[in-house]
Amino acid sequence: MNILLFVAGLTALVVGADLLVRGASKLALSFGISPLVVGLTIVAFGTSAPEMAVSVGAVLEGKTDIAIGNVVGSNIFNVLFILGISALIVPLVVNIQLIRQEVPILIGASLLLLVLGMDGKVSVPEGALLFGLLLAYTVFLVVQSRKETQAAQDEFAEEVKPAQAGAWDSKLPVQLLLIAAGLVALVFGSQWLVTASVAFAKAMGVSDLVIGLTIVSAGTSMPEVAASIAAAIKGERDIAVGNVVGSSTFNILGCVGLASMAAGDTGLLMSAAVLNFDIWVMLAVTLACLPVFMTGREIARWEGAVFLFHYVAYVAYLILASQQHALLGTFSVAMMSFVVPLTVITLVVALLRKH
């Protein structure tokens, strides 16, 4: 029953996000907003709508570990799994703007979350600050997009097509209905997914946090998986990378911000496990983007394979730690003594060779 509830919740989230993006993007384009702006805002935010719905839903049900685990886990999943799998399909081109602007903004947002959470919670005013920064970032992107080259405009115009005259989704009532249906599906989907996830955690003997960091975060990231892989296959390789970076920034500023405000007086509580380990992994993964992106301004297949390997290792560590498995000590020593240093050395050598 819980498996069916989980699948139904996940399906509702993916379908809801798609309906919301379709309705909102067609509506925006009908009002004359450029495809580039729609791509940078509505489409990017829409793919993160499941994370937001689940995080806010979890807070309202008193499951703050799932809320924060979902955001931190999604960002780790976005970089290591989605970029890893996309780069294995085809080496990904990295736009210079991502290196100079978007990745540093994501690193800044990650550091800010770490600082705000040091006291064990993100309070309502701090959540409002995060959400305010998201709004400012969105306005900044819209203003900046007006200076974009025609090539960038054309690429997003191909990705975000306006409704054709006479098409079923060209009428205002239909677009509003799509938005409403998408929001309803997101609300119900998030409730079902959280309920099933809590049941899984109890049945498997692991914490809500581990379920949030793994199953829930991977599930709510499915729209990003679909969007990035589709973009990579179609050759829109910078959109594949931009989608992941933009979504990760939105997760921190939007999802944590809104969830913290929804939590009320207590704020969004952050467990010691998150503060001592998982949030540092998220920060390290985000920082790793810069040297990887700068090696020839592309993510090569071997770098994609390294990303995927580290995601598998991270999930394996979480499972072993939650079960207090006898292999945990050996696994940790192997990762810290050999795998991590070897990866760092490889990236540094690759970076030096390119320069």
Mean pLDDT across 294-322: 82
Model confidence pLDDT, tens digit, residues 5-16? 888 988 888 888
Mean pLDDT across 327-331: 66
pLDDT of residue 226: 77
In this predicted structure, the answer to whether residue 283 has a pLDDT above a threshold of 60 is: yes
In this predicted structure, the answer to whether residue 225 has a pLDDT above a threshold of 90 is: no
pLDDT of residue 272: 86
Domains of the chain, each with CATH number or no CATH = 2-354 (1.20.1420.30)
pLDDT of residue 303: 83
Average pLDDT, the chain: 80
Model confidence pLDDT, tens digit, residues 52-82? 888 898 898 888 888 899 999 999 998 889 8
Q: Comparing C-alpha atoms, which of 12, 4, 1 is closest to residue 188?
A: 12
Mean pLDDT across 120-143: 91
pLDDT of residue 149: 58
Mean pLDDT across 214-220: 83
With 0-12 / 13-18 / 19 or more C-beta atoms within 10 angstroms meaning exposed / middle / buried, residue 348 is exposed
Tell me the two tokens of residue 352: 């030096």
Cα–Cα distance list, 68 to 56, 133, 193 (Å): 10, 19, 15
Given a contact cutoff of 8 angstroms between Cβ atoms, the answer to whether 321 and 266 are in contact is: no
Rounded to two decimals, what is the model's pTM? 0.80
pLDDT of residue 45: 75
Tell me the two tokens of residue 49: 């709508």
Tell me the two tokens of residue 60: 């309202």
3-state secondary structure the chain: CHHHHHHHHHHHHHHHHHHHHHHHHHHHHHCCCCHHHHHHHHHHHHHCHHHHHHHHHHHHCCCHHHHHHHHHHHHHHHHHHHHHHHHHHCCEECCHHHHHHHHHHHHHHHHHHHHHHHHCEECHHHHHHHHHHHHHHHHHHHHHHCCCCHHHHHHHHHHCCCCCCCCCCCCHHHHHHHHHHHHHHHHHHHHHHHHHHHHHHHHHCCCHHHHHHHHHHHHHCHHHHHHHHHHHHCCCHHHHHHHHHHHHHHHHHHHHHHHHHHCHHHCEECCHHHHHHHHHHHHHHHHHHHHHHHCCCEECHHHHHHHHHHHHHHHHHHHHHHHCCCCHHHHHHHHHHHHHHHHHHHHHHHHHHHC
Confidence grade of residue 34 (pLDDT, cut at 50, 70, 90): low
Phi, psi of 148 (to 5 degrees): -65, 155
**Other CB atoms closer than 10 Å to residue 101's CB: what's the count?**
15
pLDDT of residue 109: 95
User: Could you identify the residue written with the tokens 């793919």?
Assistant: 47
pLDDT of residue 126: 95
List the beta bridge partners of residue 122.
268
pLDDT of residue 112: 95
Share of the chain above pLDDT 70, in %: 79
pLDDT of residue 20: 80
In this predicted structure, the answer to whether residue 156 has a pLDDT above a threshold of 60 is: no
pLDDT of residue 338: 58
pLDDT of residue 258: 93
Q: Comparing C-alpha atoms, which of 54, 65, 59, 57 is closest to residue 271?
A: 65
**Most confident option among 19-28, 165-174, 268-277, 322-331:** 268-277
Mean pLDDT across 205-232: 80
pLDDT of residue 339: 57
Q: Find the Cα–Cα–Cα–Cα dihedral 122, 125, 127, 132, rounded to 10°.
A: -150
**Most confident option among 33-42, 192-201, 288-297, 340-349:** 192-201
pLDDT of residue 256: 94
The CA-based angle 338-90-226, given to 5 degrees, is 95
